[in-house]
Every structure is written in C-alpha cells, then in structure tokens.
Amino acid sequence: MRMRPILATIHLDALRHNLAIVKKIAPKSNVMAVVKANAYGHGLLRVAKGLAETDGFAVLGINEAISLREAGYKQTIMLLEGVFEADELELAAQWALSIVVHNEQQMAILENVVLSQPIEIFLKMNTGMNRLGFRPQVYATQIQRLSKLANVKNIVMMTHFAAADEDSGISEALAKFHEATQTFSYQTSVANSAALLRYPESHTDWVRPGIMLYGATPVSGQAATSFGLKPAMQLTTEIIAVQTLQAGESVGYGHTFTAKELTRVGIVACGYADGYPRHAPSGTPIAINGKVTKTLGRVSMDMLFADISDILEADVGSAVELWGAQVTVDAVAEASGTVGYELLCAVAPRVPFEVIETHG
C-alpha cells in the first residue's frame, strides 16, 4: 500500500561519526550522551543503537532510563532532574541508575530512606543559570551531607552552563565551580555541546553532549559542518501537486506570497502537523530533487509550498528534503526564528521513522 510520503530517516553512521568527533575532541573524558526528549526527537532506542559505544546516557524520565536498561544497555544511565519521590528513588537504585540531586527536597528523600543498594549522585551546582542546583556557598555542606550516607555509592560534582554558546562564555561559571569544588577530589561534569566544542577546559571527567551528537549546531551562526558533524535525521517527503501561478496570483492561506512573474509551485506533503515550523517564512530553504530552492507562502497543517520555477524536471512524485544533509535543520530553524533543537524535538508522532546504517 502506498502511503503519504513523509519520512524521517535516522542515520546510525552519522550518530557514530558524531560520537567519534566527541571522543576525538575530548579524548580524556567519559561521554554521557544526552538522549532526553526521545533523543531530541530521533527516538530513544534508535539513537541508543547508534551511540552504543558511549560511556553513559542522560535522560529525563525514569521510564526512559528503564527502557534503556531493558534493551540491555549496561553503562551509566543518569536522570537529569533526579527523582521526584521516595518510591522512585528506590526504583532508580534497583535499576542501577545515577541521579542528579539539585535541591533540598531530593536531599531529604535521600537522607530518609534505606535503599536496597547505594546509588551514584550527580550533585548539581547553580553557577549562574539559576535553574537547578545548589549555590556555590552551600555546595560543600551538601557534599558533606552526601558523603555520610550509606545510600550514596559515589558523587560526581556537576554544573550546567547558561552561556556556553554565547560571547560571554563559561569562564565566570567555571571559576565559581572550581572555587567551590577545589577541596574535593570527586569526579566532575560540566560540558554541554557548546562548551565541549568551544572550551577545552570544560573537558573534565564526564562531558554531556546532546545536540552535536544529532549533527545540529549548538552555536547559532556556526554551521554544524564546520565542526565536522553529520546530520542524524533526514526529513523527506514528495511533491503531491503542482500549480502554476500567473503574475499577481497568490498561494496558500492569507495570500502571503504573491507571484511577480510566472511561478511553478510544488505542493509538498509536509505541514506544521508533521512538526515543520509554521513560522517558516517564504524563502526558507528546501531541497527538491537534490536542488536547494525556497518555500513560498504560509505553511499549512499538512502541506507547504516550494518554488520549482527553476527546477524544470520537478513534478508530482519529486523528492523533497525538508532538512538533512542538503538543507540543514539549523538553516530552517534560523529562518523560523528558533533553533535546531526545537525542530528536531517537534517532529510529530504521525511521521514514520526508518533507521538506516549508512548515508547514501
């Protein structure tokens, strides 16, 4: 049966290649592959297969962590927001998960239960993001509390940067972190993708790359390819109709694009209900039959429009790449006023996925 042609293809070789880049850049660090949000929209278990050589996985929900364990992954699996109640803590211990501890409530749970086996703690410091974590001034006290507990197997000292991708960088946050941790010899973990790519001093015991593993950029304005990364996801579809606009005619809702001259328009089977950004304006790059052209008019729920005036052979059935190797997800994101992260995470459940070993 022939189906609607939209498809997200996950390239395992690209995931492996990007992980190898991480290891090459930070050869002394353990790698904690961040696979939260269903592996940034790529599919948790699909991605885990491509990243099987990683030293650890970081997820948000305990259900994701358990599904990785059930699939046979033996490495460190860390819960980025830790646990939310005592029962969950015991479950985490039973599955040999590692957990972030970032607030007093989590600390109290840990102090007031008897776990069936001790658990690894990533103790989070707030070095300026002001989201999760203990302030530097009280960090040593928390370390001392943890170090007394039979429930605690070992401690990793951790922070997360607010501006690793910005001009202001990480130096202030890293200085705070060093000052508050210098008297302890526990392992540390500080780098996300942007820090990993920009600041070698962030390559401590554990690095935590997310977006770069998927081959999108963590640094706006700097292409993922400039870091040697390859896109792990290719979102493709086909042209399902062709319209020819006379000068003065418009296409799509709101008539936001009006042709100045004779314009051939490919009607593309992908819309915002597939996860394509509705904010993508006319002019957003899109590839038809391997040639980069631009979108026209307003993205609708199930369709969008591409200018095929200069792609003479384009017709119903022609191949369309929304994002992938020809048009980067970052280029679509930039045109739409967002970041590749958001677009990748937003690929809709109705889009079928396929996993392949190699590009080509």
Measured from the CB atom, the residue of 17 and 298 that comes closer to ligand PLP is: 17
Using CB under 6 A as the binding criterion, the count of chain residues that bind ligand PLP stands at 12
Residues listed for the chain? 360
Work out whether 193 is an interface residue with ligand PLP (CB under 6 A): yes
Scanning residues 81 to 120, which ones bind ligand PLP (CB under 6 A)?
A: none
Q: Of residues 36, 124, 176, 230, which has the active-site annotation?
A: 36
Measured from the CB atom, the residue of 177 and 305 that comes closer to ligand PLP is: 177
Do 122 and 112 form a contact (C-beta atoms < 8 A)? no
User: What is the smallest separation between the CB atom of 65 and ligand PLP, expressed in angstroms?
Assistant: 15
Q: Does the active-site annotation cover 253?
A: yes
CA distance 167 to 29: 25
Closest by CA position to 184, among listed 92, 129, 121: 121
Do 82 and 59 form a contact (C-beta atoms < 8 A)? no
Structure tokens at 204: 């401590």
User: What is the smallest separation between the CB atom of 64 and ligand PLP, expressed in angstroms?
Assistant: 13
Q: Alpha helix (H) ranges present in the chain? A: 12-25, 36-40, 44-50, 62-70, 86-94, 104-112, 136-147, 171-181, 193-198, 329-335, 340-345
Annotate 279-321 with DSSP letters as a single string. Answer: TPPTT-EEEETTEEEEEES---SS-EEEE-TT-TT--TT-EEE
Per-residue binder mask for ligand PLP (CB under 6 A), 32-71, x = binder: --x-x-----------------------------------
CA distance 266 to 316: 8
Q: Taking CB positions, which residue lies at the least distance from ligand PLP?
A: 210
User: What is the smallest separation between the CB atom of 60 and ligand PLP, expressed in angstroms?
Assistant: 8
User: What is the smallest separation between the CB atom of 199 and ligand PLP, expressed in angstroms?
Assistant: 13
User: What is the smallest separation between the CB atom of 296 and ligand PLP, expressed in angstroms?
Assistant: 32
Annotate 86-102 with DSSP letters as a single string. Answer: HHHHHHHHHTT-EEEE-
Measured from the CB atom, the residue of 146 and 196 that comes closer to ligand PLP is: 196
Q: Using CB under 6 A, which of 51, 59, 80, 229 touches ligand PLP?
A: 80
CA distance 79 to 57: 9
The answer for 160, left when phi > 0, alpha when psi is -120 to 50, beta otherwise, is beta
- Residue 301 assigned as binding residue: yes
Per-residue binder mask for ligand PLP (CB under 6 A), 138-177, x = binder: ----------------------x-----------------
Do 224 and 205 form a contact (C-beta atoms < 8 A)? no
Do 96 and 78 form a contact (C-beta atoms < 8 A)? no
User: What is the smallest separation between the CB atom of 165 and ligand PLP, expressed in angstroms?
Assistant: 8
Span of 171-179, 187-195, 232-240, 282-290 interacting with ligand PLP by CB under 6 A: 187-195
Per-residue binder mask for ligand PLP (CB under 6 A), 9-38, x = binder: -------------------------x-x--
Specify the amino acid at residue 169: G
Closest by CA position to 165, among listed 194, 191, 193, 192: 194
Scanning residues 200 to 229, which ones bind ligand PLP (CB under 6 A)?
A: 208-211, 218
Work out whether 231 is an interface residue with ligand PLP (CB under 6 A): no
- Residue 278 assigned as binding residue: no
Work out whether 192 is an interface residue with ligand PLP (CB under 6 A): yes
Q: Does the active-site annotation cover 36?
A: yes
Measured from the CB atom, the residue of 75 and 326 that comes closer to ligand PLP is: 75
CA distance 263 to 261: 6
Span of 147-155, 190-198, 240-248, 273-281 interacting with ligand PLP by CB under 6 A: 190-198
Catalytic residues: 36, 253
Binding positions for ligand PLP, rule: CB under 6 A:
34, 36, 80, 160, 192-194, 208-211, 218
Question: What are the binding residues for substrate?
Answer: 131, 301
